[in-house]
């Protein structure tokens, strides 16, 4: 119901218009009255809309998160979930039986590279980037402020996509120079997502593959929603590369959903780990698992902060 309401831009049509009857919404979006009324009722039942005798209207949360131009809009991520993740998740049974991602069943193909599925057309590429941007924008402030990062003079956001986190960092730490390092096809499309305003501090974008190419030099390397995409063996390759260019005192900042060590309490993160099963080679990990991975590459003093937002934060220092 949420996915379809966003796909039809129901929340956009209701924004700033006051209560509308189902017949009026159906007319605006080109849908049947009976189907629209049932969808609106379902959204009201879910707490996404308010229903009064005068009609339906957005809740404050819907205006903030579900309209395409909301302050912390998740519209892009929801459309990505509808078009890409939902077909994958319908093959969960096969994923559990086989222990592998389900792109070949959901879409009739199996790309060797995880992200080739997302970049096969300009439309799909921008939809995927919009999805990543919406999560990064929503979580950026909490990620950037989980620890005091003022000791670092330069940072490199590996797989930083649109630069949403990078722009938040330079606002909070004006003396921090931030480079976003991502694939060439991503960097070529970042202009669509840059913040407006003349006083926005600059962020540098550099194209490359962090598994294959040399990494930009930095005091702090950021990996936000990167490690959960990959199995341990690939993570060791990446952490080894970072460790090789890190001087003592340099750090890594991870932003991920962190599972509790017994993997039984944090239901959202546990469901996300199940979600990773159907779409990637990776998984969500516990704090102990991340600590073990990092310490093998000389990163100690591992600190973990649960933010209460969608992403938690881990900071460690190279010794």
Report residue 196 as tokens. 């407006």
* Choice among 13, 84, 133, 228 that is catalytic: 228
State how far the Cα of 45 lies from the Cα of 39, in Å rounded to an integer. 10
State how far the Cα of 221 lies from the Cα of 299, in Å rounded to an integer. 12
Residues 238, 297: contact at Cβ < 8 Å?
no
State how far the Cα of 8 lies from the Cα of 317, in Å rounded to an integer. 47
Residues 164, 140: contact at Cβ < 8 Å?
yes
13 annotated active-site: no
C-alpha distances (whole Å) from 165 to each of 59, 108, 253, 303 are: 27, 34, 12, 20
Catalytic residues: 228
């Amino acid at each position: 119901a949420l996915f379809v309401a966003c796909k039809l831009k129901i929340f956009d049509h209701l924004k700033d218009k006051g209560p509308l009857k189902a017949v009026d919404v159906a007319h605006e979006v080109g849908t049947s009255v009976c189907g629209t009324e049932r969808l609106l009722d379902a959204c009201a039942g879910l707490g996404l809309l308010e229903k009064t005798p005068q009609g339906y209207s957005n809740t404050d949360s819907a205006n903030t998160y579900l309209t395409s131009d909301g302050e912390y809009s998740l519209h892009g991520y929801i459309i990505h979930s509808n078009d890409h993740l939902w077909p994958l998740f319908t093959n969960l049974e096969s994923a559990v039986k086989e222990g592998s991602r389900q792109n070949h069943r959901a879409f009739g193909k199996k790309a060797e590279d995880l992200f080739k599925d997302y970049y096969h057309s300009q439309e799909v590429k921008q939809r995927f980037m919009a999805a990543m941007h919406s999560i990064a924008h929503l979580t950026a402030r909490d990620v950037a402020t989980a620890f005091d990062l003022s000791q670092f003079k330069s940072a490199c956001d590996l797989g930083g996509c649109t630069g949403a986190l990078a722009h938040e960092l330079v606002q909070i730490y004006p003396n921090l120079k931030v480079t976003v390092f991502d694939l060439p096809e991503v960097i070529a499309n970042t202009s669509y997502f840059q913040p407006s305003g003349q006083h926005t501090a600059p962020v540098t974008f550099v194209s490359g593959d962090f598994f294959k190419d040399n990494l930009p030099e930095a005091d702090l390397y950021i990996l936000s929603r990167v490690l959960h995409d990959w199995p341990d063996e690939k993570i060791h390759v990446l952490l080894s590369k970072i460790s090789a260019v890190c001087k003592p005192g340099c750090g890594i900042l991870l932003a991920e959903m962190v599972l509790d060590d017994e993997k039984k309490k944090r239901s959202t993160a546990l469901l996300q780990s199940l979600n990773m099963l159907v779409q990637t080679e990776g998984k969500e990990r516990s704090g102990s698992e991340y600590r073990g991975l990092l310490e093998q590459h000389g990163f100690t003093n591992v600190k973990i902060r649960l933010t209460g937002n969608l992403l938690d934060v881990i900071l460690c220092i190279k010794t």
